[in-house]
Chains A and B, each alone.
Chain A
């Protein structure tokens, strides 16, 4: 899974999708996940990193992670290459 190349995420949590012209706002955790997705980190790498940094267990994180990426998919911010 990859974030579309042309999507820009600003420091203020503003996401602009030039393909659709839509803009979004995201929170800090969402921003960090998006940054890691852009760096092509695997879900496992993301999970490990986030659970180290935040007060959250792996199972709970996984649940929120898939909910979040589901939203990214719904908003078509993801390159569907598979």
Chain B
């Protein structure tokens, strides 16, 4: 069978020690037996390593940050599309998802396919909405309570046992062992992310992650659970291993079928010492460790492209257990002329 030619544009080429998923996603696509892909990299910054990996990315264009406005970003992508047509677009950053979800129709009209969660799904899985989420979909989540005044802190002991987690609306999470520490984190977080600050039960146990793909109709197209074996100072997995745990897969199915999740996702789950599974966070995109899933037999990046193109296919149900990934860093040699080209012309 001859492979189908296709061009795929994606972001997240920052394959650093806090990596974006771009390069691992591309590796999955490159290994596809069905697609012969031309890879168009979309870079926000001029030193994202993927830009200079010419065997990984065929052509890179610089794009403006979504913080410049959805229109500005989308117009740039349409301008690229005009001279270098894009069949499928895979955004890989949380911060840009909002813009691409809003522009889904515009992109579709220009014949650029995406496969993204809906705005409603995206909003529903926000950290501050976790208790509501747990109730609605009948999954265990840590008990949590938003607070808006520092004088509420002294009463927390009525609802919580120490230690507990103090979390910002969008980012930041700290473990606190007493009210004084909560006050300190409260002040820091509220100054940075505003109110409310979320107080969350600390679940003792093992953290596990699942990468999964939902078809938007409630079906799981693929799912691979993993435990991090080595974690960097930034909290990123540097090594991990696939797990055999039916309960993790059942929980994933339950969430995907309940939400009718559309697109890639990463579940952060804590398995408590009582052996209960608590959902801690739901990330609305493929994680950077997705290549482990590819290596274990589920080419989820390829499956995402099929979903975007509306192709029918059988979902993945198996993966190899005990497959490991170990990340490594690698120095690419390039020349200032390449850097110049990208910086002045906006493409390479």
- Listed in ascending order, the chain A residues whose CB lies under 8 Å from chain B are 10, 12-14, 16, 23, 25
Please, which residues of chain A bring their CB within 8 A of the CB of B343?
Answer: 14, 23, 25
Which of B336, B339, B344 interacts with A13 by CB under 8 Å?
B344
A residues near B1, Cβ cutoff 8 Å: none
Interface of B is mostly: helix
Q: For B340, list chain A residues within 8 Å (CB).
A: 10, 12, 14, 16, 23
Contact A25 B336 (CB under 8 A): no
- Max count, chain B CB within 10 A of own CB: residue among A10, A14, A16, A25: A14
B345 contacts partner chain A, Cβ-Cβ < 8 Å: yes
Measured CB to CB, the closest approach of chain B to A13, in angstroms, equals 6
Residues of B within 8 A of A16 (CB): 336, 340
Report Cα–Cα, A61/B340, bound state, in Å.
29
Max chain A Cβ within 10 angstroms of own Cβ: one of B339, B340, B343, B345: B340
Residue of B nearest to A21 (CB): B336
CB-defined contacts of B345 to chain A, threshold 8 Å: 12
Complex Cα–Cα for A10 and B336 (A): 12
Nearest B residue (CB) for A16: B336
Contacts of A14 in B (CB 8 A): 340, 343-344
6 closest A-B pairs by beta carbon, nearest first, are A12-B344, A14-B340, A14-B344, A16-B336, A13-B344, A10-B340
CB distance from A82 to the nearest CB of B (A): 30
**Complex interface: chain B residues within 8 A of A25 (CB):** 343-344
**Residue of A at shortest CB range from B336?**
A16
Set of chain B residues within 8 Å of A12, measured between Cβ atoms: 340, 344-345
Inter-chain CA distance A74–B336, complex, in Å, is 22
With CB as the reference atom, state the residue of chain A lying closest to B344. Answer: A12
Residues of chain A lying within 8 A (CB to CB) of residue B339: 23
